[in-house]
Structure 1
Amino acid sequence: MPMHTSQRARADRGRGAGLGLALVSAVAFGGSGVAAKPLIEAGLDPLHVVWLRVVGAALVALPLAVRHRALLRERPALLVGFGLLAVAGVQACYFAALSRIPVGVALLIEYLAPALVLGWVRLVQRRPVTRAAAIGVVLAVGGLACVVQAWSGLRFDPVGVLLALGAACCQVGYFVLADQGGTAGREAPDPLGVIAHGLLVGAVVLTAVARPWTLDWSVLAADADLDGTPVPAALLLAWIVLIATVLAYVTGVRSVRRLSPQVAGVVACLEAIVATVLAWVLLGEHLSAPQLAGGAVVLVGAFIAQSSAPAEGRAEPVASGGAERELSARGTAA
């Protein structure tokens, strides 16, 4: 009995640490928009901001890529998939969708990813999911609709909707690929190595898409306007690269290892709340009552989903995060 209690306490600590990492990741990702918007308003193309973000992060992570160069031989498909989907795909599809449909609608469609993860687990992997996890996803998506006010300015553009769905599918790839490491008979790859190589792959792909040779570099040498306050554009870019990308991806991947893809996906919906609150505080974009109510619903949904995991050692659906807690207990989540 004492051993069982100790194992359960260790599992609870691992889940708590995973939730904390997921929250840090959501906050870091959520801060990217507030820093990127002044750069875009200063004259940078959105795709150029994405390219600078990914290339800068790839350069920061280059020593890690060299250190984990064995992954190129051991897990090439994982690295290419992570770079194409989790790095380049999400960014490119989302920014392309913004040119055709409202920002709120695009963001809502992208954050259907947690529901799509459940669909992947249930229909493709043919594994059961907990009712609480499903309820948490429904609440989070419904609350997110209020946060982004999806009903404002809705225009039906089939291409734009498909692009936003593409971003959602790529985000599913992020959560599923970030969970790789629980495959039977194979040691989990170091998440830092996967992120480093994924950023390099994403940088190569985005270079072809964004055409950085047309970038106006003079914008980065000047100040950008942050709600009336001049801020060095280079400082905003540094925030996007170091915090909103490097820190966000590292904590996000580690959180998936400690939770489960679908639970981490629901918690990631908090990114929309963080982005909205930061825009309120730093950019003067005020929140409405429905947005505040929606934020509370997202928090409730995230809590229900992350607290749905039964005790370790029981037969449990994949949505409850059992396999990921076992990985964490073995120390595979670096």
Structure 2
Amino acid sequence: MPMRTSESSRGRSGKGAGLGLALVSAVAFGGSGVAAKPLIEAGLDPLHVVWLRVTGAALVMAPLAVRHRALLRRRPALLLGYGLLAVAGVQACYFAAISRIPVGVALLVEYLAPALVLGWVRFVQRRPVTRAAALGVVLAVGGLACVVEIWSGLGFDALGLLFALGAACCQVGYFILSDHGGEPGGAAAPDPLGVIAYGLLVGAAALTAVARPWTMDWTVLAHPARMDGTAVPAAALLAWIVLVATVLAYVTGVLSVRRLSPQVAGVVACLEAVIATVLAWVLLGEHLSAPQVVGGVVVLLGAFIAQSSAPAKSSAEPVASGGAERELAARGTAA
């Protein structure tokens, strides 16, 4: 009996630590756009900010890549897909979006990804989905209509909204690829931290070719950037983006999923959009209207229902439900 009590206590302690890690990860991820936008407004191209973020994080995570070097042989397609889509694609589109539309709106549009995955499953793969999942899609789309205030003729920059939708599509692309890239021979799933480390390296290489960092105005980093009129050292913002909003965010996110169920971790991860919106409101002065706030809540509710709904009885496992892929799906790939 005392042993069972001790095990129960350890279980509660582990879940408490997992929730704490998940909250840290949500706050860290949520602060990426708020720190990046002043750098973009100071004169850096969004692609250059993404390159700095991904390359800096890749250098920090390089020891993990060395430790998991067997992944290069075992899962090259997974690493390539994660690096190009979940890292380079998502972040490049997200940073391009926030250069034109509010941070909160961009992130909420990105949260259409679970609904888009289900759309792929239902209409492309022609696999049935549950009514709850369909309800989640309807809620997410309806909430998004409120976020972008569709009744006013899409008052936001159309290109910015397209970039945000591109970030969501990159997430969908990664989950679809990972769904078809199961571990050969039924071997153990790869360590998600190793996948992240190599994904950052692949993303950094791809972004180097696209962003051409040698054309960047490096002097911007030596001067203050403006955060809603307040001068903040640009180098400090970059350090936050690399060390906190990327390295710490990914590591704590994966560690939280190992202590919690993917569904619970996914719910906490949805707080990222809330935190990003609040931070943008307080630090950047980006105010959302009441209908947009309500729409944002509906988007998150729909995304949660779509992501956590069980597959229909006649269907196979849902997209991105395997080992490492499921942990990364629960954490999210964003922003």
**TM-score range normalised by the length of the shorter chain:** 0.7 to 0.9
Any conservation in 1 of the 2:223–2:234 contact (CA below 8 Å)?
Answer: yes
What is the CA-CA distance between 1:116 and the residue it aligns to? 1.6
Amino acid across the alignment from 2:85: L
Q: Judging changes above 3 Å, is the alpha-carbon distance between structure 1 residues 37 and 96 closer, same or farther for their aligned structure 2 residues?
A: closer
Whole-Å separation in 1 of the counterparts to 2:192 and 2:155 = 39
What is the CA-CA distance between 1:240 and the residue it aligns to? 0.9
Q: Judging changes above 3 Å, is the alpha-carbon distance between structure 1 residues 83 and 156 closer, same or farther for their aligned structure 2 residues?
A: same
Any conservation in 2 of the 1:88–1:205 contact (CA below 8 Å)?
Answer: yes
User: 2:222 aligned with 1:221, yes or no?
Assistant: yes
Q: Judging changes above 3 Å, is the alpha-carbon distance between structure 1 residues 182 and 21 closer, same or farther for their aligned structure 2 residues?
A: farther
TM-score by length of 2: 0.73
| SS in structure 2 of the partner of residue 318 of structure 1 | coil
Whole-Å separation in 1 of the counterparts to 2:176 and 2:223 = 40
Whole-Å separation in 1 of the counterparts to 2:175 and 2:236 = 30
Equivalent residue number for residue 5 of structure 1 = none
| SS in structure 2 of the partner of residue 154 of structure 1 | coil
Whole-Å separation in 1 of the counterparts to 2:121 and 2:18 = 20
Equivalent residue number for residue 236 of structure 1 = 237
Whole-Å separation in 1 of the counterparts to 2:316 and 2:26 = 25
Amino acid across the alignment from 1:275: A
Amino acid across the alignment from 2:228: D
**More off after superposition, 314-323 vs 59-68:** 314-323
What is the CA-CA distance between 1:287 and the residue it aligns to? 2.8
Amino acid across the alignment from 1:214: T
User: 2:233 aligned with 1:201, yes or no?
Assistant: no
Whole-Å separation in 1 of the counterparts to 2:109 and 2:59 = 31
Equivalent residue number for residue 114 of structure 1 = 114
Amino acid across the alignment from 1:53: R
Equivalent residue number for residue 4 of structure 1 = none
What is the CA-CA distance between 1:254 and the residue it aligns to? 6.2
What is the CA-CA distance between 1:55 and the residue it aligns to? 0.5
Whole-Å separation in 1 of the counterparts to 2:232 and 2:116 = 39
**More off after superposition, 186-195 vs 216-225:** 216-225
User: 2:62 aligned with 1:36, yes or no?
Assistant: no
**Which one of the candidate residues 262, 271, 278 is aligned to 1:259?**
262
User: 2:270 aligned with 1:273, yes or no?
Assistant: no
Q: Judging changes above 3 Å, is the alpha-carbon distance between structure 1 residues 201 and 303 closer, same or farther for their aligned structure 2 residues?
A: closer
Indicate the RMSD between aligned Cα atoms, in angstroms: 4.3
Residue by residue over 1:53-111, the C-alpha shift from the partner in whole angstroms, topping out at 9 and shown as x without a partner, is 10011011011011111111111111111101111112334455678x85688656543
Any conservation in 2 of the 1:129–1:320 contact (CA below 8 Å)?
Answer: no
**More off after superposition, 193-202 vs 157-166:** 157-166
Amino acid across the alignment from 2:213: P
What is the CA-CA distance between 1:207 and the residue it aligns to? 0.6
What is the CA-CA distance between 1:137 and the residue it aligns to? 3.5
Equivalent residue number for residue 317 of structure 2 = 318
Any conservation in 2 of the 1:36–1:49 contact (CA below 8 Å)?
Answer: yes
Amino acid across the alignment from 1:30: G
Whole-Å separation in 2 of the counterparts to 1:256 and 1:289 = 33
What is the CA-CA distance between 1:21 and the residue it aligns to? 6.4
**More off after superposition, 27-36 vs 153-162:** 153-162
TM-score by length of 1: 0.74
Equivalent residue number for residue 52 of structure 1 = 52
Amino acid across the alignment from 1:318: E
User: 2:246 aligned with 1:245, yes or no?
Assistant: yes
Amino acid across the alignment from 1:113: A
User: 2:291 aligned with 1:297, yes or no?
Assistant: no
Whole-Å separation in 2 of the counterparts to 1:317 and 1:174 = 19
Q: Number of aligned pairs?
A: 311
| SS in structure 2 of the partner of residue 172 of structure 1 | helix
Whole-Å separation in 2 of the counterparts to 1:181 and 1:255 = 23
Amino acid across the alignment from 1:142: G
What is the CA-CA distance between 1:175 and the residue it aligns to? 4.1
| SS in structure 1 of the partner of residue 56 of structure 2 | helix
Any conservation in 2 of the 1:143–1:293 contact (CA below 8 Å)?
Answer: yes
Amino acid across the alignment from 1:88: A
What is the CA-CA distance between 1:120 and the residue it aligns to? 3.3
Equivalent residue number for residue 288 of structure 2 = 287
Percent same amino acid among aligned pairs?
A: 77
